[in-house]
């Protein structure tokens, strides 16, 4: 049965879910959702997810929200290679450990920086609030350090859960791409992280680059600038 | 085999884990950890969890962090009643859905209010920052509304995952107790939530009250006040 995946590719967890489905070969149909066009506020969408967030899946008559819960459900239900989400209890727990950490780790920190440094000012047509940006930057940099030193053990680990790629790596990298649209490249000055992200990207391509097309476009077009507003025109 | 549970009962997810182990009958030893006494910063503890957070478990030679990952691991490994974390794939996915939402939902929101309204000012010996508290309060109240209207469907559902109690309810209630120490009772003016929390507490007692002893003590002693500082002495 083909799973419907309702996802806005501007959202990090939504991108992660689409890449996971493509890379693991899960039969699915991506239903494009545009948050900025109000797609998540419609009556029809709100019936699927009263919290009006992406992604959502429909597997027959079963509706499920929350990307991590979805990934686990699909790993149980669909025939995919074991390394994406291992069946061995301890190996699975080690993938889960990262998936649970990332909510208030990479997810919260990279998103906060992106929002305060670029998306909110861009939407409001005003310069970024320097104090908020400085705080978000500091928190994000601590978090990126933890990815390198704790989750990748200073480069000793090829992937978050060990020698093979898993959903933890997809989630991590999709989050860490987000600040690029705010002009911050997480790879710069972090060789362990850069090597890791290149490795994950190579494993997931062509899907990784394809799903990130809109992100790359915004990164290349704006790179954190807010035309006419920031940096202040001379 | 007895599982070692390293937990500071001032921490919401740590309380949830201890209550889960007790209520489900998992053979465990609670190793009390005091964050304020520096217990999580020792060399020995940092070896177990480089991120220096609670809780941590040791199951033989297997070490695991992150409360939600731990709960899932224990549910797989130990013989417990199915309702705590159902084996049926769709039922399990519905428990997971809440467990994933709560990180940036009840966990983030109730903790932010508690921190800005009481713990940070109490530690710094200064009055709460009114602007931060107002923002945290607003966000928490939106979140509590979502628990009532979305997760409990306006009172149609007895428990988050349906007719039986699960780990989702333990996690939810432990988070929602935290603001009581900052003088905010989430039950007040929310009859659906109050009924729900009473039901969960009754199901989990005597463990619920026992594990919350220190929380109740701080709630009764301070109730959000900071002696000599807030409210401002006349």
Domains of chain A, each with CATH number or no CATH: 3-80 (3.40.30.10), 89-220 (1.20.1050.10)
Question: Nearest-CA residue of chain B relative to A78?
Answer: B89
**Is the pLDDT assigned to residue B233 strictly greater than 90?**
no
Q: For A166-225, what is the HEC assignment?
A: CHHHHHHHHHHHHHHHHCCCCCCCCHHHHHHHHHHHHHHCCHHHHHCHHHHHHHHHHCCC
Sign of CA dihedral A133, A139, A142, A143: negative
Q: Are the beta carbons of A4 and A58 closer than 8 angstroms?
A: yes
State pLDDT tens for residues B105-133: 999 999 999 999 999 999 999 999 999 99
Strands (E), chain B: 3-7, 28-32, 56-59, 62-65
Q: Measured between CB atoms, does A62 come within 8 Å of chain B?
A: yes
Mean pLDDT of chain B: 97
**Is the pLDDT assigned to residue B100 strictly greater than 90?**
yes
Q: Are the beta carbons of B185 and B176 closer than 8 angstroms?
A: no
Cα A44 to chain centroid, rounded: 25
Q: What pLDDT does residue B234 have?
A: 76
Q: pTM, whole model, 2 decimals?
A: 0.98
Measured CA to CA, the distance from residue A86 to residue B72 in angstroms comes to: 14
Question: Nearest-CA residue of chain A relative to B90?
Answer: A73
Q: What pLDDT does residue A1 have?
A: 82
Q: Are the beta carbons of B174 and B71 closer than 8 angstroms?
A: no
Mean pLDDT by 10 residues, chain A (234 residues): 96 98 98 97 98 98 98 97 98 98 98 98 96 98 98 98 96 98 98 98 98 98 95 86
Q: Measured between CB atoms, does B141 come within 8 Å of chain A?
A: no
Cβ within 8 Å of residue B146, ≥6 positions away? A51, B105
- φ/ψ of B212, rounded to 5, equals -90, 5
Q: What pLDDT does residue A154 have?
A: 98
- Closest-CA distance, B233 to chain A, in angstroms, reads 32
Measured CA to CA, the distance from residue A187 to residue A75 in angstroms comes to: 30
């Amino acid at each position: 049965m083909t799973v419907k995946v309702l996802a806005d590719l501007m959202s990090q967890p939504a991108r992660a879910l689409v890449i996971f489905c493509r890379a693991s070969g899960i039969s699915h149909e991506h239903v494009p959702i545009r948050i900025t066009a109000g797609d998540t506020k419609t009556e029809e969408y709100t019936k699927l997810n009263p919290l009006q967030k992406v992604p959502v899946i429909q597997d027959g008559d079963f509706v499920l929200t929350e990307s991590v819960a979805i990934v686990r459900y699909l790993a149980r239900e669909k025939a995919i290679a074991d390394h994406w989400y291992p069946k061995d209890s301890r190996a699975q727990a080690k993938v889960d450990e990262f998936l649970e950490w990332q909510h208030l780790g990479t997810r919260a920190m990279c998103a906060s920086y992106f929002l305060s440094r670029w998306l909110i000012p861009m939407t409001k047509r005003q310069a970024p609030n320097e104090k908020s940006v400085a705080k978000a930057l500091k928190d994000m940099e601590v978090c990126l350090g933890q990815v390198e030193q704790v989750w990748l053990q200073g480069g000793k680990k090829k992937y978050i859960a060990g020698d093979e790629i898993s959903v933890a790596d997809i989630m991590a990298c999709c989050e860490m791409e987000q600040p690029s649209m705010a002009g911050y490249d997480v790879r710069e000055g972090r060789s362990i992280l850069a090597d890791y992200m290149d490795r994950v990207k190579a494993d997931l391509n062509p899907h990784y680059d394809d799903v990130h097309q809109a992100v790359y476009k915004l990164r290349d077009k704006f790179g954190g600038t807010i035309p006419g507003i920031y940096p202040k025109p001379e």
